[in-house]
């Protein structure tokens, strides 16, 4: 069980700790700065924090025995002289890290490996705990990469990275918007995955094109990696063959729209979502904040509301702001309106830690 | 040698003391300053070594225009100010 949360917000990184059965803010770092994501490496206890300093760019920090140190940030290669690449507005696409949108550890046989997904679409790997980064040119140079489009942001970006728990060379990444991509060889080559997903925001002939899919979040069951869950712009999808094919889950109350999904580490049929009205409004239905949970692979869902506000709640929960601890019992999520809730019983009941934080971008157990 | 003055707002992230360096363009001067203070580089320039979108540079009171190549001319007596642009909010 984890007793500690790292909460990334628009105005700092908050540490929330469990003490005497209660969760409280125990510390804050980078106060005033925009912290977009953290990763805690369970192999060595080190934490990483991604900052977006606006004027001064994206930065990455790593925890030390006494605090934090700035480390290298993934950097795009020089754009070849005369090479032109436009974004969807016809503007020159800048090959420069605009956001760190995914951080994941490599496998147990790669102790220094960290994966990092960015906007405008670059995937990077560090083999030395973040001291240096190498861009996966095989994916960046893939001819279909130029078909990726903005989704959650103006620029396309990689927001989900899943490393096969049994084979570190097998990795899946998800792109908003560009679907799911998979490597069998540690990133030397990539293929598109994700047949069966469906997009309503493109003409019908493109609706099932895997590259048109706006995956909001992709997760993989650690004990049963065949099982993947997707929260998609158009709903919930589940795969039982490592993401090769997906089945759409429909008729989920109160909504199939959302950003976040987590899957139980040992029970592939158990997953949680935070539903919102799709998709122009993006608020909880009727102002009632809820988490949905399936325990049977998506055949049925429970709506979990105990301890969550049920009147005039307009909390939006972003894709990295729902977390499940490694034991699979404790959940936490944070909202754009600064609310933070924790459950110690798989979502049956929730306790509000605070509702006055800055906008929350990511919640992670540490 | 030209004098380079950095916005006080960057100082809490990375130390950028006022520096002096020779050169005939903004690029030449800044590259020398960053050679001595490499951590400051990414706070001012992006991955393609262009000026970050919301950074403004003034040479003797004139905002530079060549944000990609930093080719604006610099005199030995020039003062270069590296500021936050208001456009960044």
Cβ neighbours of B57 in A, within 8 Å: none
- Asked if A73 has any chain B CB less than 8 Å from its own CB, the reply is yes
pLDDT tens track for A2-36: 999 999 999 999 999 999 999 999 999 999 999 99
Helix ranges (DSSP H) in chain A: 137-140
> CA A259 to CA A341: how far, in whole Å?
17
A96 and B46 within 8 Å at the Cβ level: the answer is: yes
The DSSP H or E segment spanning B36 is helix B26-36
- Asked if B20 has any chain A CB less than 8 Å from its own CB, the reply is no
pLDDT tens track for A307-351: 999 999 999 999 999 999 999 999 999 999 999 999 999 999 999
When pLDDT is cut at 50, 70 and 90, the band that residue A283 belongs to is confident
Residue B88: its pLDDT value, please? Answer: 64
- Asked if B11 has any chain A CB less than 8 Å from its own CB, the reply is no
- Asked if B9 has any chain A CB less than 8 Å from its own CB, the reply is yes
Which positions ≥6 away from B70 have C-beta within 8 Å? Answer: B25, B26, B27, B30, B50, B51, B57, B64
Q: What share of chain B is helix, strand, coil (3-state, %, to 5)?
A: 25, 30, 45
A57 and B10 within 8 Å at the Cβ level: the answer is: no
And the tokens for A167? Answer: 């084979």
- Asked if B22 has any chain A CB less than 8 Å from its own CB, the reply is no
Residue A278: its pLDDT value, please? Answer: 73
Min CA distance, B79 vs chain A (Å)? 21
Min CA distance, A283 vs chain B (Å)? 26
When pLDDT is cut at 50, 70 and 90, the band that residue B86 belongs to is confident
- Asked if A94 has any chain B CB less than 8 Å from its own CB, the reply is yes
> CA A103 to CA A107: how far, in whole Å?
13
Cβ neighbours of A95 in B, within 8 Å: 47-48
Which positions ≥6 away from A64 have C-beta within 8 Å? Answer: none
> CA A102 to CA A116: how far, in whole Å?
5
Rg of chain A, C-alpha, whole Å = 19
The DSSP H or E segment spanning B26 is helix B26-36
* Average pLDDT across chain A, whole number: 95
| pTM, full prediction | 0.95
């Amino acid at each position: 069980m984890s007793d500690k949360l790292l909460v990334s917000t628009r105005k700092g990184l908050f540490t929330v700790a469990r003490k005497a059965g209660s969760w409280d803010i125990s510390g804050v770092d980078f106060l005033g700065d925009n912290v977009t994501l953290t990763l805690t490496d369970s192999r060595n206890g080190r934490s990483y924090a991604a900052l977006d300093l606006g004027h001064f760019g994206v930065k990455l920090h790593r925890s030390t025995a006494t605090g934090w140190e700035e480390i290298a940030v993934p950097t795009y290669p020089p754009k070849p002289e005369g090479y032109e690449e436009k974004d969807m507005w016809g503007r020159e696409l800048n090959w420069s890290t605009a956001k760190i949108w995914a951080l994941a550890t490599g496998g147990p046989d790669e102790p220094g490996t960290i994966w990092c997904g960015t906007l405008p679409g670059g995937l990077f790997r560090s083999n030395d705990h973040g001291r240096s980064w190498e861009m996966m040119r095989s994916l960046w140079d893939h001819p279909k990469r130029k078909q990726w489009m903005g989704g959650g942001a103006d620029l396309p970006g990689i927001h989900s990275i899943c490393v096969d728990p049994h084979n570190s060379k097998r990795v899946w990444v998800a792109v908003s918007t560009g679907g799911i991509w998979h490597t069998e060889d540690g990133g030397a080559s990539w293929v598109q995955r994700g047949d069966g997903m469906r997009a309503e925001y493109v003409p019908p002939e493109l609706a099932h094109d895997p590259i048109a899919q706006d995956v909001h979040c992709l997760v993989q069951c650690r004990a049963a990696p065949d099982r993947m869950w997707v929260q998609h712009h158009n709903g919930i999808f589940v795969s039982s063959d490592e993401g090769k094919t997906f089945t759409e889950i429909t008729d989920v109350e109160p909504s199939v729209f959302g950003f976040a999904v987590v899957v139980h580490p040992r029970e592939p049929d158990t997953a949680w979502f935070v539903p919102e009205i799709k998709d122009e409004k993006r608020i909880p239905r009727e102002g009632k904040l809820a988490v949905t949970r399936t325990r049977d692979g998506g055949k049925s869902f429970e709506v979990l509301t105990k301890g969550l506000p049920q009147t005039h709640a307009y909390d939006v929960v972003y894709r990295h702001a729902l977390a499940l601890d490694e034991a699979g019992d404790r959940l936490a999520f944070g909202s754009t309106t600064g609310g933070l809730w924790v459950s110690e019983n798989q979502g049956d009941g929730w306790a509000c830690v605070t509702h006055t934080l800055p906008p929350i971008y990511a919640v992670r157990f540490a | 040698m030209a004098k380079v003055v950095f916005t006080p707002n960057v100082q809490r992230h990375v130390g950028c003391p006022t520096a002096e360096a020779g050169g005939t363009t903004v690029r030449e001067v800044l590259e020398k300053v960053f050679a001595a203070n490499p951590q400051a580089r990414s706070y001012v320039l992006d991955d393609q070594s262009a000026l970050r979108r919301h950074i403004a540079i003034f040479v003797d009171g004139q905002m530079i225009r060549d944000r990609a190549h930093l080719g604006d001319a610099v005199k030995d007596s020039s003062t270069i100010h590296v500021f936050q642009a208001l456009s960044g909010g």
